[in-house]
Amino acid sequence: MTEFFQYILNGISQGCIYILLASGLTLIFGIMNVPNFAQGHLYMVGAYFGFYMVMSLAMNYWLALILSTIALGFIGLLLFRFVFYPMRDTPEVNLFVAAMALLMILEGAALYFFGTETKWFVVPFSRKVLTFGDLSLPVQRVIVILGTLVVMTFLHLFIKKTSIGATLEATAQQREGAMLCGIKVARVSALAFMIGTGLAGIAGVLIGPAVLLEPTMGMGPLLVAFSAVVFGGMGSIPGAILGAFILGLVESLASGYISATYSLTFVFGIMIIMLLFRPKGLLGKETWRP
Amino acid sequence: MKNIPTFFILTILTLLTSTQITACRDLKTVKVGVISPLSGSTAYFGLSVFHSVELAVQNINDKGTTGSGPGILVNGKRYNLEVVSYDDGGSPAKSVAGMRRLVEMHRVPVIFGPFGTPATWACQEINVGLGVLFSGMSASDLSRKKGNPLYFQERLPAIYWGDPMAEACIERGYKKACIIADVNEAYASWAERFKDKFESLGGKVLGFETIDSKSLTDYHSIMTSFKAKGPDIIFLSLYEEPQALAASHALDVGYKGKFLLNSDWGKKSEKIVGLDRLEGSLVEATQWMFYQAHPDHDKKGYLTEYLKQYQNTYGDVPAQPGAHIYGVVYMVARAMEIAGSITDSAAIREASSKALQEGKLPLIFPNTDVLKNGLVYGAPDFLLEIKNGDYMLVQELQVSRELLE
């Protein structure tokens, strides 16, 4: 039974990274209808920013976390302003291709600035492990879980309790209706992009000290996060959270009880089964059509 | 009159210098090729290979192969070596294109690289037709079994170290093991060999997982399942960084046993995990790792000198494949001198054994012979134990020549 609970702990911590990525993805998709394939690579950029600040500038980890989040939010704003906003009235496939192109550009930029050699960053609590009886959890993973909880609580409060958040929700529900009500949809979309990419930045810095950094590190988490969005229901933040949480657990349990080689087979297999029986996803309100 | 000695000295210096320049200009050039990934995810290794060939060529051009330079002396004529490189980006298809290009455009008789087993196998399909000798950077046993007559394999197939590693584990009372291996043929077969030997000696393998370490970033669940099985030791048959990550994640989930680390283990992985957390674990190491940890064992100082020169020239630390190829360049250059040919690939290949048997080359890995199947043989590996944050020599490991021939 200890083994089972250890898998659950592992799955929760991994699921938290997927939650942050999937929430950003679904937020951007809900507002702009853009499947931001660059989200995984923005997560990679966030991790590299954290690495640079902590290891090269000897900055405090928490400060690096805040600054990386702001930097990623700013990058999101630039992406929106100079890439996605000008393309807003073009066919959706253009947005799709632009997101794919950004993914490659970000990977190239990381290769150029940080090289091909794997990087890692050490923080004071990198090697500390908490034990609860026979269960163990590294402090960094505890930070990932707590950090995700805090961020998602703030995001929830922001959307539900502030007027700006209400405009986000309104735009996501009915874009034209929001425009008719006087909501400046372009600004709301820019904000959604900033929050979405900022979440990727947070995920990158949170997980950074627990993994190895390389320019392609975002691809795996992106695939699972995207599946979580589809699994939970496109455009639904609670759906994305639930989907990411479930897929994180499935991945962990499959790795432990069956084989790590096939863990993603189970993740994607479950997603396909879900789509066959419930095409709108767990909490989706309508079927998503590309 | 005061100026006469100065004038005299200056005249002599000028004459000496101009003679040297003329001598260098008079040397004809032999082009040698390098195929390695200078871009892409394995560029770190590729750059080390390229730079190490450059460094060896520069040293040979300055001092000769055995200190009787400059350049190489073939049939009474001196030649300088010139490096022509091709970036294959780690793609076997590009390695093949590169081999064709280097042979057809630059007429190189020998190519150092490519890096990696898939690229080596791809090049083995065409090198004999092109008449070019090459040194593939592969640790797979199948590479030498292809029987290619114009091929060198500098690194012994990793698989054979599985036997002495299993014996060492049993000797130390580690009877229960778990194994995680990369899908790469060399690492997977290494792990399989270890498993077979370990079980034949009475050990029990409780868990065996094959993974693609290039895409797997979370080892927590695998290590949880291993920990639950209660092994004495976990063999990590992986590349350097994944080894470090897997070991870290095993410690994260509370694993308290030992690890068996392979020869890819190094300075970087040490920093990631922390040696103090690996007390009692075993490392199968080449001279590369052992001499860096204990430079006093590097009696001839070749590795120390190579590292120093590399860092001074390129401002970076090389990866292990660079040190391997460095020696091959010396061996080939000396073989050209012995064979009396700079173009006959088969004769150069044939003479390479003698080049090593002379024992005059500054080889980082003290190899002694080239076997008929192209394996460069002789340098031992070492089994080390991590004690008090340091590596202690347990025993020297050697694979029998009969097994490899």
The residues facing B384 across adjacent strands are: B283, B393
- Yes or no: say if B178 and B227 are a contact pair by the CB < 8 Å rule: no
A198 phi and psi angles, rounded to 5 deg: -60, -40
For the segment B157-168, the average pLDDT, to the nearest whole number, is 90
Average pLDDT over residues B311-334: 92
- What is the model's pLDDT at position B5? 56
Dump pLDDT digits (tens) for A165-209.
889 888 888 888 888 888 888 899 999 999 999 999 999 999 999
Task: Tell whether the model's pLDDT for residue A35 goes beyond 50.
Answer: yes
Q: Do B241 and A212 touch (CB under 8 A)?
A: yes
Task: Provide the 10 A C-beta neighbour count for residue B18.
Answer: 10
Q: What confidence score (pLDDT) does residue A286 get? A: 56
Q: Is B309 in CB contact (< 8 Å) with chain A?
A: no
Q: Is B178 on the interface with A (CB under 8 A)?
A: no
User: Is residue A253 pLDDT above 70, yes or no?
Assistant: yes
Helix (H, G, I), strand (E, B) or coil at B239: coil
Phi, psi of B31, rounded to the nearest 5 degrees: -85, 135
Average pLDDT of the segment spanning B138-165: 90
Q: What is the pLDDT of residue B1?
A: 45
CA–CA distance, A290 with A77 (Å, rounded to integer): 24
The Cα of B295 is separated from the nearest Cα of chain A by a number of Å equal to 25
pLDDT at A284 over 80: no
Answer whether residue A128 shows pLDDT above 50: yes
Q: Quick check: B254 and A135 CB within 8 A? A: yes
Distance from CA of A41 to the nearest CA of B (A): 15
Give the architecture (CATH level 2) of B9-137+300-364: 3-Layer(aba) Sandwich (3.40)
Residues B157 and B136: their CA atoms lie apart, in Å, by 12
In chain A, what are the domains? 2-277 (1.10.3470)
> A256 and B221 in contact by Cβ < 8 A?
yes
Residue A263 scores a pLDDT above 80: yes
How many contacts (CB atoms, under 8 Å) link A and B?
87
pLDDT value at B222 more than 90 = yes
- In this prediction, residue B173 has a pLDDT band, given cuts at 50, 70 and 90, of very high
Q: In the prediction, which pLDDT does B20 show?
A: 39
The whole-angstrom distance between B222's CA and the closest CA on chain A is: 5
Chain-chain contact of B272 with A220 (C-beta, under 8 angstroms): no
Q: How far is B40 from chain A (nearest CA, A)?
A: 7
List, in sequence order, every residue forming a beta bridge with B31; answer none if it has no partner: B82
The yes-or-no verdict on residue A287 having pLDDT over 60 is no
Q: What is the mean pLDDT of chain A?
A: 89
| B217 with A212: Cβ contact below 8 A | yes
- pLDDT tens readout for residues A212-233: 898 889 988 999 999 999 888 8
**CB neighbourhood size of B251 (10 A):** 20
| In chain B, residues 277-306 whose CB comes closer than 8 Å to chain A | 277
Residue B362, C-beta contacts closer than 8 angstroms, at least 6 positions apart = B300, B302, B305, B330
Q: Is pLDDT at A75 greater than 80 in this prediction?
A: yes
Task: Supply the DSSP symbol for A99.
Answer: H
Among all residues of chain B, which has the CA nearest to that of A252? B221
Does residue B43 sit at the A interface (CB-CB below 8 Å)? yes
The rounded mean pLDDT for chain B is 89
- Nearest C-alpha of chain A: how many angstroms from B41? 6
Q: How many CB atoms lie within 10 A of CB A176?
A: 9
Average pLDDT of span A88-113: 88
B255 min Cα distance to partner chain A (Å): 9
Instruction: Please give the pLDDT value at position A222.
Output: 93
A6-15, A110-119, B243-252, B392-401 — which is least confidently predicted? A110-119
A136 vs B252: CB contact, 8 Å cut-off?
yes
Instruction: Give me Rg for the CA atoms of chain A.
Output: 19
Q: Which range scores top for mean pLDDT: A46-50, A181-185, B87-91, B291-295?
A: A46-50
Q: Which residues of A touch B (CB under 8 A)?
A: 2-3, 6-7, 10-11, 13-14, 115-118, 120, 122, 127, 129, 131, 134-138, 141, 211-212, 214-217, 220, 251-253, 255-257, 259-261, 263
Find, in chain A, the residue whose alpha carbon is nearest to that of B242: A212
What is the pLDDT at residue B45? 86
Q: At what angle do helices B345-357 and B320-339 cross, to 10 degrees?
A: 110
Average pLDDT of the residues in B373-398: 90
CB within 8 Å of B267: residues ≥ 6 apart: B292, B317
Query: What chain A residue is nearest to B39 in terms of C-alpha separation?
Result: A116
Res. B6 pLDDT band, cuts 50 70 90: low
Chain B residues whose beta carbon lies within 8 Å of the beta carbon of residue A125: none
- The CA distance from A184 to A168, in Å, is 10
Q: How many CA atoms lie within 13 A of B370 on its CB side?
A: 24
Where in chain B are all domains bearing CATH 3.40.50.2300? 9-137+300-364, 159-286+381-404
3-state secondary structure B174-187: CCEEEEEEECCHHH
Helical spans, DSSP H, in B237-301: 240-252, 267-273, 287-293
Distance of CA B209 to CAs A260, A273, B145, B175, B201, Å?
A: 8, 27, 26, 18, 21
CA distance A47 to B364: 38
Which pLDDT score is estimated for B140? 87
Report the candidate in B28, B51, B32, B29 with the shortest Cα–Cα distance to residue B132: B32
Higher pLDDT residue, B103 or A180?
A: B103
Lowest mean pLDDT among A220-224, B108-112, B291-295: B291-295
Q: Does B216 touch chain A (CB under 8 A)?
A: yes
Class of domain B159-286+381-404: alpha beta
Determine the distance in angstroms separating the CA of B321 from the nearest CA of chain A, rounded to an integer: 15
Output the pLDDT for position A285. Answer: 67
Token pair for residue B389?
């944050």
Residue B23 confidence (pLDDT) above 60: no
A7–B224 C-beta distance less than 8 A = yes
DSSP B306-366: HHHHHHHHHSSPPPHHHHHHHHHHHHHHHHHHHHT-SS-HHHHHHHHHHHHHT--S--SS-
Tokens of A107: 């990977």
Facing residue for A3 by CB, picked from B210, B224, B244: B224
